[in-house]
């Protein structure tokens, strides 16, 4: 590589690392996003320089051929035309499924890179067998394995193995992300789709794919084996995600994000691209770390998330608990105002319902009014609230809620008995007391925001329906709980109006 190309790639890697670090803190997350975007710009610029100046390991366009720069330009234009409006117009409620689609696109991109690398090796060896002069600059006296070794800068079998991994992981990520998108967007059922022997079938699919990978490493010249691996990866992606319930989607999204990074890393080894290796490793590692955080937040193992079919278990414990109460108490916003007006400590627990109602700005205004009235206000953020990791943090940051007001479970649960009012806005599973009280509940053992211990609990929901995990919530029927039915944004605006008119 030229000196300028090397500098651009190093700068890109550094910016990705810095951007990822900044994304770990709410106050620096926006800058981290911009730094990462600049890193991607540097990577694209470096790739353009490689195409312009270092064509020794590419098939040349030849007379009448298509210049590779045209493909890069088309990619930039098409990506910009689609990406900019999508990012600007996407609703916050649709952000989780957009993240799922991003993961899928990353996976299919890695698959296509692996496919393109193998196809290039086929074209080179085919050119050797053709009497006409081959339009390539690689050493044409080699087999497919030998050419792959030249392309990847290593042993041909190692390069073939990395192509297999890029294709397998990329294909699983692509179709798995499409299923996750369908579940999050309500296009397909969010409940687990289960059938007898499902794990055995999935295991057999994975074994067939691995067998295909071994055959590719032995002789990558058998093209139908590669195509079979592509097909198996697509089927395996659907089969792996379809049995996972909607309540586990935050974990699935973070895991698929990790898969997309691992696929990119494998594609980097296949093509000998160090930047792709570094970036893929960063994404893969950070995704795995985030997946572990999500699993700890739910007090469940990753194997339990992937293979247990969460949500298919009967929520009999919760149903029995609700049956002990005749009905839930309800209040109007006007009646709830009098309790809030006298409160000195308020904890707000946001959930997906706040995103649906787009109530974050009204919630921020209510929090400001409560503070002016002398109350201490905190926002209790559960790690798996919403449909993706950090969903509530993004919503509250959009409304300019001060970072110091955000609290994790350890910051609110120990003092919950002293809280005058806990306001639950559309959250359900993350405040379900059966998670700590009922061993028969599918949620049992998951750490929750223990609002049931507060002096008063206001739950803002449209109905008494169960949450995304499909588990009923006995919190709605406790003596200290009052339901405020209706659209969360209108309810909050009603409370804000009462404070302003007082």
Query: Which is nearest to 255 in space by CA: 284, 297, 296, 278?
Result: 284
Least confident of 310-319, 335-344, 367-376: 310-319
Percent of the chain with pLDDT over 70: 88
Q: Where do the H-state alpha helices sit in 153-194?
A: 156-185
CA distance 424 to 461: 9
Tell me if residue 139 is catalytic: no
| Predicted pLDDT at 1 | 64
Q: Pick the catalytic residue from 429, 434, 438, 452.
A: 429
Helix (H) or strand (E) holding 484: strand 481-485
CA dist 214 → 208, 229, 408 (Å):
10, 11, 46
Per-residue model confidence as pLDDT tens digits over 61-87: 444 456 677 888 888 899 889 988 988
| Predicted pLDDT at 298 | 73
Helix (H) or strand (E) holding 203: helix 198-218
Kind of pairing between the strands at 406-407 and 376-380 = parallel
| Predicted pLDDT at 429 | 85
Residue in this structure with the two tokens 């699919």, named with its chain if needed:
205
pTM for the structure as a whole: 0.78
Percent of the chain with pLDDT over 90: 40
């Amino acid at each position: 590589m030229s000196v300028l190309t090397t500098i651009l790639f190093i700068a890109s890697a550094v910016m990705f690392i810095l951007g990822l670090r900044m994304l770990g803190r709410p106050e620096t997350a926006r800058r981290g996003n911009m730094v990462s975007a600049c890193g991607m710009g540097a990577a694209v610029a470096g790739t353009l320089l490689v195409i312009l100046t270092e064509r020794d390991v590419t098939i040349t366009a030849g007379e009448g051929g298509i210049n590779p720069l045209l493909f890069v330009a088309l990619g930039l234009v098409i990506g910009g035309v689609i990406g900019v409006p999508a990012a600007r117009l996407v609703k916050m409620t649709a952000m989780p499924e957009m993240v799922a689609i991003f993961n899928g696109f990353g996976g299919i991109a890695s698959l296509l890179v692996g496919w393109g690398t193998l196809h290039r090796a086929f074209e080179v060896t085919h050119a050797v067998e053709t009497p006409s002069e081959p339009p390539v600059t690689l050493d044409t006296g080699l087999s497919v394995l030998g050419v792959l070794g030249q392309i990847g800068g290593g042993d041909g079998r190692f390069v073939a193995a990395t192509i297999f991994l890029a294709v397998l992981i990329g294909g699983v990520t692509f179709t798995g992300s499409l299923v996750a998108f369908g579940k999050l967007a309500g296009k397909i059922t969010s409940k687990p789709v289960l059938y007898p022997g499902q794990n055995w079938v999935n295991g057999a699919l994975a074994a067939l794919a691995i067998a295909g990978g071994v055959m590719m490493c032995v002789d990558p010249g058998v093209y139908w084996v590669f195509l079979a691996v592509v097909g198996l990866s697509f089927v395996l992606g659907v089969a792996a995600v379809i049995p996972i319930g909607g309540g586990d989607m935050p974990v699935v999204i973070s895991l698929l994000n990790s898969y997309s990074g691992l696929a990119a890393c494998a594609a980097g080894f296949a093509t000998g691209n160090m930047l792709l290796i570094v970036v893929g490793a960063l994404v893969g590692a950070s995704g795995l770390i985030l997946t572990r955080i999500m699993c700890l937040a739910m007090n469940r193992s990753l194997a339990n998330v992937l293979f247990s079919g969460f949500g298919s278990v009967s929520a009999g414990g919760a149903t029995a608990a609700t049956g002990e109460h005749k009905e839930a108490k309800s209040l109007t916003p006007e009646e709830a105002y009098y309790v809030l007006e006298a409160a000195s400590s308020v904890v707000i627990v946001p959930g997906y319902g706040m995103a649906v109602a787009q109530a974050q700005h009204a919630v921020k205004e209510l929090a400001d009014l409560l503070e002016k009235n002398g109350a201490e206000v905190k926002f209790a953020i559960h790690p798996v609230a919403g449909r993706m990791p950090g969903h509530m943090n993004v919503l509250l940051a959009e409304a300019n809620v001060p970072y110091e007001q955000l609290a994790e479970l350890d910051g609110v649960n120990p003092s919950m008995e002293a809280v005058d009012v806990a306001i639950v806005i559309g959250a359900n599973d993350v405040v379900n007391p059966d998670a700590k009280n009922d061993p028969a509940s599918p949620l049992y053992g998951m750490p929750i925001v223990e609002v049931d211990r507060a002096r008063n609990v206001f739950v803002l929901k449209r109905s008494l329906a169960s949450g995304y995990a499909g588990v009923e919530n006995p919190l709605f029927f406790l003596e200290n709980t009052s339901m405020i039915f209706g659209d969360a944004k209108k309810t909050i605006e009603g409370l804000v109006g009462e404070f302003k008119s007082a």
